[in-house]
Amino acid sequence: MRPVTVPAVGKRPPAKAVALPRVVISNGTLEALKWLGLVLMTLDHANKYVFAHGLPGAFELGRLAMPIFGFVLAYNLARPGALTSGAYARTMKRLALYGVAATPFFIGLGGLLSGWWPLNIMF
């Protein structure tokens, strides 16, 4: 009979590295996703500010825009060399700049919920 070895409490055997398959999406598909997100976002904004939520289904379709944009952004930031080329810092600076630039328009369209702090999608 072989003796059973029990690892010490709290210690696990080292995990084996698993090579996941690389996800490759063509540039044309990414471009199409960006256009789809833009169309859905425009539909959502038109439904809210022009049609006073009168278009059935437009709100639900508009909610798909942010996950699409988030996926495309994450995919592009996960490209090889993105970190070393400074893409992360450059992208965050651009997002912050556009968020600040959009805030007055957001407030003008009635985005101030309470108090003095307006929150748009960037903040």
From the CB of residue 43, how many other CB atoms can be counted at a distance below 10 Å? Answer: 19
pLDDT score for 109: 80
Ramachandran angles phi, psi of 62, nearest 5°: -65, -30
pLDDT score for 10: 65
Q: Is the pTM of this model over 0.85?
A: no
Q: Helical H runs in the chain?
A: 27-49, 58-62, 65-77, 87-108
What average pLDDT values come out for the chain (123 residues) when binned by 10 residues?
65 79 93 98 94 94 97 94 94 94 84 67 78
